[in-house]
Amino acid sequence: MGAIAAGVAIWAFGWRRWADPAASLAIALLVVWSSWTLLLDSVGVLMEATPRHIDAGRVKEAIAEVDGVEEVHDLHVWTITSGFESLSVHVRVAGRDRDEALR
């Protein structure tokens, strides 16, 4: 379509010098625009960012509300691959001392 549009521009307006670069630029912008969401998702996976649909603060609060949980820290939520999230967290549980937890 870009080559046809460039050909029409050359034929109709005589834009021999600028028709092809303009068509190429338009195609490049179309590719970037149509793949923007995929690009953002890919960068998020590579940077191990928290997925947009997960609120890490609410996850931490939900874990802290479980009976026996004294402390929640070092919560990390990331995407391994599209549709596969992972979570890592340190939880201190009531009734266990540090020496017992290390055994």
Domain locations in the chain? 1-40, 48-103
Concatenated DSSP letters for 21-54?
HHHHHHHHHHHHHHHHHHHHHHHHHHTTPPPTT-
Does 82 score more than 90 pLDDT?
A: no
28-69 residue pLDDT tens: 999 999 999 888 888 888 998 899 899 999 999 999 999 999
pLDDT at site 3: 85
pLDDT at site 98: 60
What is the residue-averaged pLDDT of the chain? 88
Residue 34 tokens read as 């149509």
Whole-model pTM: value is: 0.58
pLDDT at site 97: 64
